[in-house]
């Protein structure tokens, strides 16, 4: 069966997690004093022999009134031989797919049977109040008593609020949500599961759990159907998590014969090389520059953020999100700015901002480029500083040297790459030419690049809708070999070699 996943025609063999079985069950009487579960199982056996052999205790708690009121016509929902819910005929069976990102959480409500998405919603991850990156979260856990519980509670609260919002949009009730999938990086998944996160952030950087997890939604404090479960895909390593696996799943690259590089660029960047059956993964800390953070005039990709920059003569042309007055520079704008300054010779091969351009000015030792004059900006003028260029250099050097070492470790060279998948919010919006100009991405023909947006979220939805997709995610993780770059002998030299910009051809 083929189905539409967010407008894309995806070959998804729906093998729904729950099966709907219509039954007709007269209420108990003095002539039929069999227990609720006994009568239910008997009716299910008649309707679909062999489909169900037990009733979940959590479901049984809620069934009693249902089996006594009404005319006895019911739809039962069975999951792996266990009745997990029942309701009046025709009620939709819903599922929740969540991408639990370090800074943003997005969630979708879907029909478990048709696969249709009924509502989507997103929210800033409230955990960001403790820093917004993995190292800050780990520090909070280390220093604050109950820090881990606090972070877990924040995530759970945010998920609860999203569920409520999605249910309002879809005209549904949280009790109809029978299954959920949450994908996140290893730390997000560990925090949600209440697993220790300090070992993730301390050498030798080891996760508590690599395997996929499945537990009761209630065990996580999530108020869905009483017997609902939450599935989290496997992690590959401390810094290559279930969201990366989910991305590999959604893009289908793990089933693709082409030699593929698949990368998630963010504060931490995860890169996998897929070569036939073997998958090799690396990760590197790449700083928040490409998320517009720790940049003088940086901002998140919101209304008014500069996302495109072109230098035309001495003029600077910028495009902002929703064409609003420029309020700051988001990741793709940061990338464009550095690329344009370099291509125009304003920044040299070593990354120094040169004097001479009318928009370059020096304030003491600090040199900066005026991107938007105060008169054209939403607030004060927007500048790009020497420090900002350095931050981008460090980020791109980390990502590109990780790519180099990954290729080296697998015996390949850049030119052989047949496909480069760039995932994530940043990856979806960047100008590949700019990324190539500064050396973030390898200089390959443009057609070999695929920018896939929030593929991790798409993967969560696939896993929600099909047991086969969960199995596939686990197979992907099993095939992954993780290479630790922190201990790699040539990491330092490769990294230093990638700090500068390549000579212009």
Q: Which residues bind to a copy of itself, rule: CB under 8 A?
A: 28-38, 54-55, 57, 60-61, 63-65, 68, 193-196, 198-199, 203-211, 213, 215-216, 218-219, 235, 237-238, 482, 484, 486-487
* Residue 107 C-beta-side C-alpha neighbours within 13 Å: 29
Compute the least distance from the CB of residue 279 to a copy of itself, in Å.
16
CA 437 to chain centroid, in Å, comes to 27
- Beta strands across the sheet bearing 213-216: 117-124, 104-111, 94-100, 177-184, 229-232, 213-216
- Nearest Cα residue to 288 out of 280, 279, 277, 299: 299
- Please list, in sequence order, all residues whose beta carbon lies within 8 angstroms of the beta carbon of residue 379, skipping any fewer than 6 positions away: 327
- Nearest Cα residue to 444 out of 422, 426, 421, 419: 419
Compute the least distance from the CB of residue 159 to a copy of itself, in Å.
17
Residue 219 · residue 165 · CB < 8 Å: no
Closest CB to a copy of itself among residues 96, 195: 195
Compute the least distance from the CB of residue 205 to a copy of itself, in Å.
6
Token pair in block for residue 396: 């791109």
Measured distance CA(409)–CA(101) in Å, rounded: 29
Residue 133 · residue 197 · CB < 8 Å: no
Compute the least distance from the CB of residue 178 to a copy of itself, in Å.
18
Compute the least distance from the CB of residue 134 to a copy of itself, in Å.
16
Measured distance CA(134)–CA(286) in Å, rounded: 12
Compute the least distance from the CB of residue 476 to a copy of itself, in Å.
15
Closest CB to a copy of itself among residues 213, 494: 213
Closest CB to a copy of itself among residues 487, 503: 487
Q: What is the dihedral of CA 39, 45, 48, 51, to 10 degrees?
A: 100
Closest CB to a copy of itself among residues 238, 402: 238
Closest CB to a copy of itself among residues 13, 32: 32
Token pair in block for residue 491: 């990491």
Closest CB to a copy of itself among residues 59, 420: 59
Closest CB to a copy of itself among residues 131, 199: 199
Measured distance CA(409)–CA(204) in Å, rounded: 20
Compute the least distance from the CB of residue 31 to a copy of itself, in Å.
7
């Amino acid at each position: 069966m083929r189905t539409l996943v967010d407008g894309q025609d995806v070959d998804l063999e729906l093998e729904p997690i729950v099966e709907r079985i219509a039954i007709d069950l007269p209420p108990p009487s003095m002539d039929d004093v069999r227990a609720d579960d006994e009568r239910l199982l008997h009716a299910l056996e008649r309707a679909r022999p062999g489909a169900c052999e037990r009733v979940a205790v959590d479901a049984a708690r809620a069934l009693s009134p249902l089996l006594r009121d009404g005319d006895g016509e019911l739809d039962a929902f069975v999951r792996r031989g266990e009745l997990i819910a029942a309701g009046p005929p025709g009620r939709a069976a819903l599922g929740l797919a969540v991408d639990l990102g370090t800074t943003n959480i997005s969630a979708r409500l879907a029909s478990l049977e048709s696969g249709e998405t009924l509502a989507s919603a997103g929210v800033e991850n409230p955990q960001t109040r403790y820093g917004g990156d993995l190292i800050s979260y780990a520090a909070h856990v280390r220093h604050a008593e109950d820090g881990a519980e606090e972070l877990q509670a924040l995530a759970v609260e945010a998920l609860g609020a999203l569920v409520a919002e999605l249910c309002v949009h879809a005209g549904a009730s949280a009790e109809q949500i029978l299954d959920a999938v949450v994908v996140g990086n290893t730390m997000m998944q560990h925090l949600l599961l209440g697993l220790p996160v300090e070992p993730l952030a301390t050498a030798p950087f080891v996760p508590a759990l690599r395997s996929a997890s499945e537990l009761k939604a209630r065990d996580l404090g999530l108020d869905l159907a009483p017997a609902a479960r939450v599935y989290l895909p496997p992690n590959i390593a401390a810094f290559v998590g279930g969201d990366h696996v989910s991305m590999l799943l959604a893009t289908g690259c793990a089933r693709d014969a082409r030699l593929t590089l698949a990368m998630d660029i963010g504060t931490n960047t995860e890169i996998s090389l897929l070569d036939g059956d073997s998958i090799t993964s690396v990760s590197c800390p790449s700083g928040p520059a490409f998320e517009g953070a720790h940049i003088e005039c940086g901002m998140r990709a919101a209304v008014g953020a500069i996302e495109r920059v072109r230098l035309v003569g001495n003029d600077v042309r910028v495009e902002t999100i929703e064409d609003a007055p420029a309020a700051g520079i988001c990741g793709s704008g940061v990338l464009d700015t550095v690329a344009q300054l370099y291509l125009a010779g304003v920044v040299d091969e070593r990354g120094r901002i040169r004097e001479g351009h009318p928009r370059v000015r020096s304030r003491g030792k600090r040199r900066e480029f005026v991107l938007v004059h105060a008169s054209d900006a939403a607030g004060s003028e927007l500048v790009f500083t020497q420090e900002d260029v350095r931050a981008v250099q460090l980020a791109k050097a980390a990502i590109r040297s990780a790519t180099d070492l990954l290729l080296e470790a697998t015996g390949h060279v850049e030119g052989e790459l047949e496909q480069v998948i760039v995932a994530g919010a940043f990856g979806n919006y960047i100008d590949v030419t700019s990324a190539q100009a500064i050396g973030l991405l390898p200089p390959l023909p443009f057609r070999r690049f695929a920018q896939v947006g929030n593929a991790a979220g798409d993967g969560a939805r696939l896993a929600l809708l099909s047991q086969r997709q969960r199995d596939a995610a686990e197979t992907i993780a099993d095939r992954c070999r993780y290479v630790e770059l922190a201990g790699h002998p040539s990491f330092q030299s490769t990294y230093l070699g990638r700090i500068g910009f390549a000579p212009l051809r």
